């Protein structure tokens, strides 16, 4: 892991994400790519001569503001690449990640709740749905160290790649990782023996050592989200890692995303890996 992408909107939350990225950069010799997304329409960009002049004016203004925003002592001696995009299209972050060979996206977030969460969602949720690159969501306080992490998934075969990537990430930053199985009183409820069989089959297919099974925490709660958050607090985790399907459109509206819910509501940083 060598390059981190940090979307900036000049808010306190985005600066918290930038501070966290700076910690990674200094400790592990990472590079940081900064992106600010404007909200120009195609009509403005390709319009009249006056529109073109206005576009250039706002671009210059944004460049100056971005340079001022990045004039921070905690960024000293870190390689920074600033990028300004014309549109606020969240799928574009995924394209930029490919172009810049990004290994990790770190985003600041206020979260979303109620009607806003149901019908609009947060910017972070939208990025999680589109991004093929792991996303680390930072809330109010920047994280200066990550010592204990938990990884939660449904232990399905399609989650194996996310588990391996989460384990690689934890190892790369010298962070201990605890795997969590959340059992809920729904149609997917499993007995203790069924849970252990599911986990055993998962690790066998993942090619993981057998004793990893004993490291799994089996949690029972009314919802998966509650189980994850309650265990993270009890375990004193510094970060929650999860797998996500990245559902969009009607599939997302009806099925939702536990990862997005946790990212919205968790006070801890949440790291998502797309299946």
CATH of the domain at 60: 3.40.50.620
Residue 12 has pLDDT above 50, yes or no: yes
Domain that holds residue 77: 1-140
pTM: 0.82
In this structure, the answer to whether residues 156 and 88 fall within a common structural domain is no
53 vs 228, residue with greater confidence: 228
Residue 106 has pLDDT above 90, yes or no: yes
Number of domains in the chain: 2
Q: Are 5 and 133 in contact (CB under 8 A)?
A: yes
210 vs 9, residue with greater confidence: 9
Final residue of a domain: which of 140, 156, 176?
140
In this structure, the answer to whether residues 4 and 127 fall within a common structural domain is yes
Residue 114: which pLDDT band, with cuts at 50, 70 and 90? Answer: very low
Q: Is 228 exposed, middle or buried (0-12, 13-18, 19+ CB in 10 A)?
A: buried
Residues in the chain: 275
Final residue of a domain: which of 106, 140, 174?
140
Final residue of a domain: which of 85, 117, 140?
140
In this structure, the answer to whether residues 76 and 163 fall within a common structural domain is no
In this structure, the answer to whether residues 156 and 120 fall within a common structural domain is no
CA angle 199, 225, 185 (to 5 degrees): 65
What's the whole-number average pLDDT of the chain? 82
**Token pair for 193:** 């023996």
In this structure, the answer to whether residues 219 and 105 fall within a common structural domain is no
- Per residue in 211-230, pLDDT (tens digit) is 566 779 999 999 999 999 99
- Which of 175, 170, 167 lies closest to 212 in space, CA to CA? 167
**Token pair for 221:** 């709660």
Paired strand residues for 248: none
């Amino acid at each position: 892991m060598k390059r981190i992408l940090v979307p900036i909107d000049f808010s306190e939350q985005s600066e918290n994400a930038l501070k966290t990225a700076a910690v990674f950069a200094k400790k592990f010799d990472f590079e940081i790519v900064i992106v600010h997304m404007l909200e120009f329409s195609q009509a403005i960009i390709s319009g009249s001569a006056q529109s073109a002049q206005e576009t250039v004016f706002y671009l210059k203004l944004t460049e100056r503001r971005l340079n001022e925003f990045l004039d921070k002592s905690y960024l000293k001696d870190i390689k920074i690449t600033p990028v300004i995009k014309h549109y606020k299209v969240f799928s574009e972050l995924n394209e930029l990640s490919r172009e810049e060979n990004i290994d990790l996206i770190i985003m600041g977030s206020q979260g979303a709740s109620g009607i806003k969460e149901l019908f609009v969602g947060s910017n972070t949720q939208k990025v999680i749905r589109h991004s093929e690159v792991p996303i680390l969501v930072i809330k109010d306080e920047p994280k200066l160290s990550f010592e204990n992490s938990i990884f939660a998934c449904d232990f399905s075969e399609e989650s194996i790649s996310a588990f391996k990537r989460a384990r690689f990430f934890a190892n790369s930053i010298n962070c201990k990782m605890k795997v969590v199985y959340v059992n809920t009183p729904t149609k997917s409820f499993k007995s203790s023996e069924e849970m252990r069989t599911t986990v055993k089959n998962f690790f066998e297919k993942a090619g993981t050592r057998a004793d990893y099974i004993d490291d799994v925490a089996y949690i029972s709660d009314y919802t998966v989200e509650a189980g994850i958050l309650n265990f993270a607090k009890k375990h004193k985790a510094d970060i929650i890692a999860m797998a996500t399907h990245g559902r969009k459109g009607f599939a997302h509206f009806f099925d939702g995303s536990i990862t997005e819910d946790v990212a919205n509501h968790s006070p801890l940083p949440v790291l998502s890996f797309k299946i």
